[in-house]
Amino acid sequence: MLKVDEKYVGQVDMPSSRNWWPVIGTVVFVLCAAAFPAFAKAIGDPSLIGLAIRISIYAIAAASLNLILGYGGMISFGHAAYFGIGGYVVGILYHHFVEGSPFLGFIPGTNQFLITIPAAIIISGLFALVLGALSLRTSGVPFIMITLAFAQMLFFLFLSLKAYGGDDGLIVRRRNVLFDLNMADDTTFFYLTIGLAILYFIAFARLVRSPFGLVLGGIRQNERRMAAIGVSTYQYKLTAFVIAGMGAGLAGALMANYSKFVSPDMLHWTKSGDLMIMIIIGGTGTLLGPALGAVVLIGLETFLTSWTEHWKFILGPILIVIVLFSSGGLTSLFQGWSRKRE
């Protein structure tokens, strides 16, 4: 039995022809996105552009949560905290920029997009590092509870921060400045947002197939096995937690720019719940599931609220039907769109 079977020597994993579908899909999507603002105006409904911006932003946020929830098996119920922190970084820096006073006495405010966005990503990542380091000492239901508790602590912190508007939130009068772009124009901001979202998803697709991504998926499937091949699982889980927090920070910073407003609502646990619902609708542990979930949830919310303020009364049954009849989320209905559980 130890003889090498000739048939399998030199066998390769990958089919010799490269799979071009992801590339084709991306190109088609980019073309559609490029034409979208003109299309929205042509059918006389430019508000669709704003809707698409919000969907792109929530797609990033939900995908970032999906890294730890779907791929890593860590059910964090406090992901909105990092979304909110990203938003507040933009809001607070803008606040100090307008007032001319430095934050904490030495950090000058700014309205430069190229500074606020990286700052939001880094600060969210630092918060995720600290809170994740503590939360990941637990697992299972205690982990869900402790992430929820930390997020609610931050929610109440910002609620009581009168210097930054307390429960009224902070108004960002003008969107951050990026080169000479007219950021106030929704079409420009749409291209910026969708561009960042596409880059984010490309990076995400590479990440989950990388050596790190494989270890992360292994930890979800069997943490004991991973320890037995020499993986210090805690470090990998924490790294993933930080990467996820950074993604949410990016989304939050974009949302603060888009809505020109940040408030503690961005950190509320119901926002974390929304992100989880998007993932579950679209398919946990799939690349495009969170994006699809964002389209469905934000789309339904917009569509149904135009009918009735009791829109959640209709949303609930729709969600139940989706979950019941598409095990594994909507992406499972589109076989080949996204390979499940990379």
Partner 1 sequence: MSEPLLKVDGLIKRFGGLVATNNLSLDVVEGELHALIGPNGAGKTTFISQIAGELHQDSGSIHFDGNEISQWKTPVRVQRGLARSFQITQLLPDYTALDNVALAVQVRRGHSYQFFTDARKKTDLRDEGRQHLERAGLGSRANIVVSELSHGEQKQLELAIALATKPRMLLLDEPMAGLGTAECARMIDLLKVLKTEVTILLVEHDMDAVFALADRISVLVNGERIATGSADDIRANEAVRVAYLGEGDA
Helix (H) or strand (E) holding 170: strand 170-171
Q: Is 19 in the site for partner 1 (CB under 8 A)?
A: no
| Residue 211 identity | P
Q: Which residue has the tokens 């034409």?
A: 35
Contact (Cβ atoms closer than 8 angstroms) between residue 251 and residue 58: yes
Interface residue with partner 1, options 118, 218, 273, 328 (CB under 8 A): 218
* Residue with smaller CB distance to partner 1, 160 or 222: 222
In angstroms, give the least distance from the CB of 203 to partner 1. 7
Binding piece for partner 1, criterion CB under 8 A, among 1-9, 190-198, 258-266, 305-313: 1-9
Pull the structure tokens for residue 228: 């037995």
Alpha-carbon distance of 276 to 289, in angstroms, equals 11
In angstroms, give the least distance from the CB of 70 to partner 1. 12
Count residues binding partner 1 (CB under 8 A).
35
DSSP 224-266: HHHHHTT--HHHHHHHHHHHHHHHHHHHHHHHHHHHTEE-GGG
DSSP 172-183: -SSPPB-TT--T
Alpha-carbon distance of 255 to 237, in angstroms, equals 27
- Binding to partner 1 (CB under 8 A) within 33-62 occurs at none
* Residue with smaller CB distance to partner 1, 182 or 210: 210
| Residue 176 identity | N
Contact (Cβ atoms closer than 8 angstroms) between residue 97 and residue 111: yes
Interface residue with partner 1, options 100, 105, 140, 230 (CB under 8 A): 230
* Residue with smaller CB distance to partner 1, 252 or 285: 285
Give the x-and-dash track for 174-213 against partner 1 (CB under 8 A): -----------------------------x--xx-xxxxx
Q: Is 15 in the site for partner 1 (CB under 8 A)?
A: no
Share of the chain residues as helix, strand and coil, in percent rounded to the nearest 5: 70, 0, 25
Summarize as ranges the residues that interact with partner 1 (CB under 8 A): 1-2, 4-5, 7-8, 11, 13-14, 203, 206-207, 209-215, 217-218, 221-222, 224-225, 227-233, 236, 239, 341
